[in-house]
Amino acid sequence: MTPCDETLDRQGRTRRPWAPVLSAIREVGSKELARRAAALNRQMGFAAPLSAPGARLYDPIPALLTATEFAALEDAIRQRATLLSHVLEDIYGAQNLLRSGQLPPTLVFSDPYFLRPMHTGTSLVTPRLGLYAADVIRAPDGRFQLLRDYTGVVPGLGDALSLRRLATGTLPELFRSVALRSIRTAREMLVDHLQRDAEGGLVAVLSGGLAQSRNSEEGIDDALLARALGVLLVEPGDLAARNGALHMKTLSGLLHVATLIRGVSGLDLDPLEQGGRPGTGIPGSFGAIRAGVLSIVNAPGSKLLEAAALRPYIQALFTPLLNEPEKLPLVETDTAHLTSLAPFLGADGEITKAPLCLRLFAWQDGTTWQVLPGGVGLPAAHEDTAPGLGTKDLWVLDNEEPVMISGAPPAEPPERVKFLAAAHLPSRLADNLFWLGRSVERLEAAARLLMLALPRLESGTSLPRDMAERALITRCLGQAGLLPPDVAGSSISGRLLRQTLAQRRPILGLLREVGRLVDASSERLSPSMLSTVRFALHQAHEALPHEAAALPAMLSFAATFAGIAAENMSRDGGWLFLEMGRRLERGETLAESLAILLNGPVERLEPGMALGIELADSVLSYELRHSGILAPGPVLAMLLADASNPRALAFQCHALRACLERLGADDDAETARLLQQEVTNLAGNPSALNATLSDIAARLRQLSDRVHRRFFTLLPEAHTLEEDEILEPAQ
């Protein structure tokens, strides 16, 4: 008997689901695939705030499940999780299975993971088993078999929720080749369930000492999970039990913690009741759980069900407890080494075949068990498994996605209004600094938009949300001048965008304009400041021919320039004009982009809201505040009205007002104040966003023109003739 190959059928032909994926891999090439793998591993390292580069390996080649295969596994995982939950509740509750002998009491009570303090006799407020994972393998006969249960600390969920998002941008060719079931909806359902159960309390991922777990796989997964769910990452020392409840210690006092997803063994959780070492756990946590004021996913003592000695007895309980036979048999000992083989990217950069294990995840939403339509693929731990193989993203194929066309019509050109009166101030240097600020912001905005656009336009997926995002991004590219009007009117491919950029070279033009203005403003920059800015600008020029490094280099230059301006320039007239230029450009660009992204009925705004949050570089803040769940109120509040967000529209108006007041332009400062008030009010009224935001962008342009007339061109106020005025003929 030989192991089957995941990519081949019994006749030795390539299985239909694998054919387009393998074809895309061949087109990429082995050398490029190795470079993409290195990029994916770097991005995953950056995504986990505690991880060090190379602490964990990830494979760019996915593992595949057809829709039929996943449906069968989903049903089996749901059945097994239901049974294990019943068994766990009985062991720590009525113990009927122990009294009847269906579970041997000696095996249960002697297991180190049976925690006597958690035997309450009754159910807890929330189920003891709320999160479950199973490792499954494909046997030589093609059937799936259960290798292992995870009922205590569940590893790998952070990888499963994070790997897909980052791999999409690293290898868009693979995602273009097939249609997948999205895991985004499942993630949002899990976040919503956790937040609803918390009832306003804090939700956090508990890691076993962040400093100690920095390079460990468990610590990295905890960090990824917290980021993916938009919740806090805490360690036991951050928490304390007070008045029977659990709280997090902050500078402002104690905050109630309602739900913990634990990455800490139940044996170390409460040293007060388990006789452990003080300082290694959270004294009083068991009491909070029993009192119903703290939920822990999973409850301490749940790892008992992972014991190998109990598996045969648990397997015999399907018919007595669920009235149905098992749907996922245990792995047979004599065939465990015959796990199916799948392609992995080896340490030498070449593709190799190695045994594959699939890990699937499920959680209880209060009514039933939800199974994540994805997961991770792992190299099975066999003696002949080659070292240096990474964790895979598990794809569930789906070819029946509905088609949805969504987008925003091009904005009407803004109406011009009269300019205000002139004033007298030195203009040359102020003019250069003003436009330098605008040009740097324009360069940064173009880089951010292209970084948002390229992976999405290259993905080629047919999911309705992805299609809507591509249509919106294309319009934003046209609005920003990165695409000609005849191309920007329709959805385009990533290849066409790259060709257009190569022909028009808009980024190079922006870089040259910034360089010219830096030279023109050099007298206002100290030698060290000028040297730093020019060095960063040179690096950006050098990176321009290299596609992977070009856009990050533009953002690096913009960040360097902003830091120099914030920390080295005195707050006199020069800085004020530079700041005015930056805020006017950022405000105008943001208003124009949001007018496109947020155009449509409220129920169809989700793709645009997600793009707006990402374009404004506010993803992390939004996830931490709102758990990543998109809703018009929170999104508009963050993008429009949040005075503490330097990317919000109201922040730009406030900064403009402060600059204008210091320059004595009280009338223009009042205009900026009114704009800020209007933007703040708009956040609470999501109707007619497109027209209002387009109008705000037009008024910002008008304010820019008035600033230019007042300080730079020094023209007198424009006048109109009244009806009763008569022009005398010129002599």
Tell me the domain boundaries of the chain.
19-396, 432-568, 571-720
**pLDDT of the residue at 715:** 44
Give pLDDT tens digits for 179-200.
899 898 899 999 999 999 888 8
Backbone conformation region of residue 165, classed left if phi is above 0, alpha if psi is from -120 to 50, else beta = alpha
Q: Do the strands 295-297 and 253-262 form a parallel or antiparallel pair, or are they unpaired?
A: parallel
pLDDT tens, position by position, 201-215: 889 999 875 544 444
Query: Which of 517, 396, 513 lies closest to 443, judged by CA?
Result: 513
What pLDDT does 707 receive?
A: 85
pLDDT band at 333 (very low <50, low <70, confident <90, very high): confident
509 or 422, greater pLDDT: 509
**pLDDT confidence of 484, banded at 50, 70, 90?**
confident
Q: Which residue has the higher pLDDT, 217 or 249?
A: 249
Question: What is the average pLDDT across 36-45?
Answer: 86
- The mean pLDDT value for 658-669 works out to 88
The pLDDT value recorded for residue 43 is 81
Percent of the chain with pLDDT over 90: 46
Instruction: Kindly state the average pLDDT of the residues 669-689.
Output: 87
* Confidence check: pLDDT of 239 > 90: no
Min mean pLDDT across 385-394, 416-425, 524-533 is at: 416-425
What is the overall mean pLDDT for the chain? 84
Quick one: which of 469, 615, 642, 485 has its CA closest to 555? 615
User: CA angle, corner 110, sides to 106 and 113, nearest 5?
Assistant: 130
Judged against a pLDDT cut of 60, whether residue 275 lies above it is answered with yes
Do the beta carbons of residue 261 and residue 205 sit within 8 Å? yes
Lowest-pLDDT range, 26-40, 106-120, 185-199, 681-695?
681-695
**pLDDT tens for residues 4-31?**
889 988 888 888 889 999 999 999 988 9
pLDDT in tens, 52-108: 445 678 999 999 999 999 999 999 999 999 999 999 999 999 999 999 999 999 999
Q: What is the reported pLDDT for 687? A: 72
pLDDT per position as a tens digit, 548-607: 789 999 999 999 999 999 888 877 777 888 999 999 999 999 999 999 998 888 778 888
What is the sign, positive or negative, of the torsion defined by CA atoms of 98, 104, 107, 110? positive
Q: b/e string for 169-180 if b means 16 or more Cβ within 10 A?
A: bbbbbbbbbbbb
User: In the chain, helix, strand, coil percent, each to 5?
Assistant: 55, 10, 35
Residues 434-462: tens digit of each pLDDT = 999 999 999 999 999 998 888 888 776 77
pTM of the model: 0.66
Mean pLDDT of 172-179: 88
What is the pLDDT at residue 50? 54
Question: Comparing C-alpha atoms, which of 640, 725, 723, 630 is closest to residue 685?
Answer: 640
What does the radius of gyration of the chain's CA atoms come to, in whole angstroms? Answer: 30
Question: Could you tell me whether strands 131-138 and 144-150 are parallel, antiparallel, or unpaired per DSSP bridges?
Answer: antiparallel
**pLDDT value, residue 562:** 93
The rounded distance, in Å, linking the Cα atoms of 483 and 495 is 13
In this prediction, residue 201 carries a pLDDT of 87
